[in-house]
Structure 1
């Protein structure tokens, strides 16, 4: 029985991970799930959250926002709408962006603009919460 499986984390901008790993914790819409070698086939939609990758004695975390995970006994592929290493995110910068987003919601002059501003604010608040939980 193999103790690793192939994992690929892909966003529209880049391939973030493409390597053999021992475990991946995936934030899905149905709840977080752990993927280990020889896992049964699975397809899941992602919710915004922290994706954890373990292998070779290390652990790395990535923020993912939406997307799809597909896997089986020997591989897992995550196609994320957006993905970035948590270590690249600055909580102070995100706090400032949240403040600006709140102002955008207040200043919106029509429903379409307001809806876009609210969506942006919710994404930023989710990101700030993920950073807080993984600090």
Structure 2
């Protein structure tokens, strides 16, 4: 199968770059698959999992928390708010972090602290929902 260029970029770094066969993207209007010569497209992303197939045997999976995807003749570029390799995630750790964030919300005496803790909890809940754990 022909390859195309793909880049996954987070605010911290270039997460992935290379020639791939396909990428499954969690668009806000629904999940879609990009293959070589896909029609040009720009869309926003919802929290979810990106599946990157370099070949039939080599698959990379990342959780992304929102962002943008652009398909052009040059390939696919995803600018993600956050990108985490799935193999680095642990369900028990996510649950513990959610519990900690909920405790931080309950303990917060300042609105800004409460808002930040709620934002963190919501991000963790999005991650958990996207991973279906």
Q: Does the alignment reach a TM-score above 0.5?
A: yes
RMSD: 1.6
In 2, the alpha carbon distance for the partners of 1:82 and 1:75 equals: 21
User: SS of the residue aligned with 2:11?
Assistant: coil
8 Å contact kept, 2:4–2:35: yes
> Structure 1 unaligned runs (5+)?
none
Task: Name the residue aligned to 2:24.
Answer: 25
Once the two structures are TM-superposed, the CA of residue 10 in structure 1 deviates from its matched residue by 0.9
In 2, the alpha carbon distance for the partners of 1:34 and 1:108 equals: 42
In 1, the alpha carbon distance for the partners of 2:124 and 2:102 equals: 10
Task: Name the residue aligned to 1:14.
Answer: 13
Count of aligned positions: 132
Q: TM-score, normalised by structure 2?
A: 0.90
User: SS of the residue aligned with 2:81?
Assistant: strand
Once the two structures are TM-superposed, the CA of residue 74 in structure 1 deviates from its matched residue by 4.2
User: SS of the residue aligned with 1:56?
Assistant: coil
In 1, the alpha carbon distance for the partners of 2:102 and 2:59 equals: 34
Matched, 1:69 2:63: no
8 Å contact kept, 2:51–2:59: yes
> Structure 2 unaligned runs (5+)?
none
Matched, 1:82 2:82: yes
Task: Name the residue aligned to 1:46.
Answer: 45
Once the two structures are TM-superposed, the CA of residue 130 in structure 1 deviates from its matched residue by 2.4
